[in-house]
Amino acid sequence: MAKGTQINFDTTRPPSPFFKETHEAWRMALRKWIDKEIVPFVNEWEEKGEIPLALYKKASDFGLLRMGYPEEYGGISEGLDRFHGMVTSEEMARIGAGGISASLMVHGIGLPPILAIGSEEMKRRIAPAVLSGDKRISLAITEPSGGSDVAQIKTRARREGDEFIIQGSKMFLTGGMRADYFTTAVRTGGPGYAGISLMLIEADRAGLSRTKLDKQGWWASDTAAVYFDDVRVPAENLIGGENQGFAGIMRNFNGERLGMASGAIASSRVCLEEAVKWAQQRETFGKRLADHQVIRHKVAEMYRQINASQAYLEMCAWRVSNGETPVADLAMLKVQATLTLEFCAREAMQILGGAGYMRGNRVERIYREVRVNAIGGGSEEIMRDLAARQIGL
């Protein structure tokens, strides 16, 4: 960044060979839509604890919900790549309220397993309604007793003729209170990874109940605990083969981690923008905050960590775009991104001082969302251990 350049969300993203005119065109169009349809209502939706259902339809009509999905099911895919998805993650993070993005874009983790390994009948039954914004789908993996340990899933699906009977519970489901469908991990076989299947479960089936969960952050995202009390589903609701669900879950996690890393790094840039804006206007001891060496060093360190994380992110995205599945790097990238977010949120809060602690500003909201980023999609500890195993330790 040249001397004298204003420090903001855009100028703190280094020039990149991966972003072309089509990516910037999508960025500008999406930003204009977000500034009209979301930004004026952020505080209202945060306090209410949910986004309006009408927003899903608006997002689909604009193209946001449909970006990157097959056109035969109502998606938009021609000419798009992973970097368009990164632009989407960045612009949604710019809102400074992760719960809005998490709830609005939750189909990004609930729908891919169906499109990847589901039957053609299931794809045509579910995907168009979700991509049009008429229906919502959530991912149901985590359990009260298991957390990130997917191999220990206890929710069981017992086969009886042409039906499965589901018994168990799921926890921390993003978008779970208003989901119409759940892409659910169930145990259909023996212990460990080999006994896990994926099952589509409609929310209106008898025996399914749910409870809203209050959270530290992501207030605008409706989060649920879901309970299955002998819920009967037809055998054709099996997503992929019986006892073959773990591969689908892992493939889904890789994409989720790339998206979460992109959002976390962009949120770090929001923190940097807000901190610099405040430091340049706030005066203490006869000079701007920005003229105190300790503040300048904080800003420089935030900028350094963001640049390093962004470079790692773009390289991982390029590798995925070229057909690789760099599991270890995607795991380490998520750790890198969430540690950067944690550092930048803390330093921005320190620079803003009391102003940052007041409800209703982007730094305060992002600060509350640090932990969900560090834990969701695979905790930092799980990610480090996964990476260590992947590199052959």
- The 3-class SS string of 173-225 reads EECCCCCCEEEEEEECCCCCHHHEEEEEEECCCCCEEEEEECCCCCCCCCEEE
Query: In terms of domains, do 255 and 382 share one?
Result: yes
Q: Which among 38, 370, 34, 65 is positioned nearest to 218, based on CA atoms?
A: 370
d(C-alpha 356, C-alpha 177), whole Å: 31
pLDDT at 247: 82
Q: Which of 97, 131, 165 is the last residue of a domain?
A: 131
Q: Which of 216, 244, 272 is the last residue of a domain?
A: 244
Residue 211 in tokens: 């409870």
Beta bridge partner(s), residue 168: 228
Could you tell me if residue 295 is inside a domain?
A: yes
Q: Is 235 exposed, middle or buried (0-12, 13-18, 19+ CB in 10 A)?
A: middle
d(C-alpha 61, C-alpha 45), whole Å: 21
Q: DSSP letter at 237?
A: G
Locus of tokens 């590199």: 391
Report yes or no: 274 and 348 within 8 Å, Cβ to Cβ.
Answer: yes
| Domain containing residue 288: CATH number | 1.20.140.10
Q: Which of 224, 244, 264 is the last residue of a domain?
A: 244
Query: In terms of domains, do 202 and 267 share one?
Result: no
pLDDT at 393: 82
Could you tell me if residue 48 is inside a domain?
A: yes
Overall number of domains in the chain: 3
Query: In terms of domains, do 61 and 168 share one?
Result: no
pLDDT per residue as tens, the chain (393 positions): 545 568 899 999 889 999 999 999 999 999 999 999 999 999 999 999 999 999 999 999 999 999 999 999 999 999 999 999 999 999 999 999 999 999 999 999 999 999 999 999 999 999 999 999 999 999 999 998 876 677 789 999 999 999 999 999 999 999 999 999 999 999 999 988 899 999 999 999 999 999 999 999 999 999 999 999 999 999 999 999 899 888 888 777 888 899 999 999 999 999 999 999 999 999 889 899 999 999 999 999 999 999 999 999 999 999 999 999 999 999 999 999 999 999 999 999 999 999 999 998 999 999 999 999 999 888 999 999 999 999 998
Q: Is 256 a catalytic residue?
A: yes
d(C-alpha 241, C-alpha 244), whole Å: 5
pLDDT at 4: 54
Among residues 256, 274, 347, 369, the one annotated as catalytic is 256
Report yes or no: 157 and 164 within 8 Å, Cβ to Cβ.
Answer: yes
Query: In terms of domains, do 163 and 276 share one?
Result: no
- Pairing relationship of beta strands 137-140 and 163-174 according to DSSP bridges: unpaired
Could you tell me if residue 3 is inside a domain?
A: no
Hey, what's the torsion of the CAs at 238, 241, 243, 249, to 10 degrees? -80
Other Cβ atoms closer than 10 A to 285: 7
Handedness of CA 236, 241, 243, 248 (dihedral sign): negative
pLDDT at 181: 98
- Pairing relationship of beta strands 196-202 and 287-288 according to DSSP bridges: unpaired
Could you tell me if residue 357 is inside a domain?
A: yes
CA distances from residue 172 to 142, 349, 356, 372 in whole angstroms, order as listed: 7, 27, 28, 11
Q: Which among 385, 368, 380, 292 is positioned nearest to 334, based on CA atoms?
A: 380
Query: In terms of domains, do 95 and 151 share one?
Result: no
Could you tell me if residue 303 is inside a domain?
A: yes
Query: In terms of domains, do 47 and 163 share one?
Result: no
Could you tell me if residue 312 is inside a domain?
A: yes
- Pairing relationship of beta strands 137-140 and 181-187 according to DSSP bridges: parallel
d(C-alpha 121, C-alpha 114), whole Å: 10
Query: In terms of domains, do 27 and 91 share one?
Result: yes
Q: DSSP letter at 137?
A: E
| Overall pTM surpassing 0.75 (yes/no) | yes
| Domain containing residue 153: CATH number | 2.40.110.10
What domain range includes position 172? 137-244
Query: In terms of domains, do 281 and 230 share one?
Result: no
| Domain containing residue 63: CATH number | 1.10.540.10
Query: In terms of domains, do 261 and 288 share one?
Result: yes
Report yes or no: 29 and 76 within 8 Å, Cβ to Cβ.
Answer: no
Query: In terms of domains, do 160 and 108 share one?
Result: no
- Pairing relationship of beta strands 223-234 and 208-213 according to DSSP bridges: antiparallel
Residue 283 in tokens: 């005066």
Residue 19 in tokens: 């972003």
Query: In terms of domains, do 143 and 42 share one?
Result: no
Could you tell me if residue 1 is inside a domain?
A: no
pLDDT at 250: 79
d(C-alpha 114, C-alpha 120), whole Å: 9
Could you tell me if residue 328 is inside a domain?
A: yes
Query: In terms of domains, do 184 and 297 share one?
Result: no
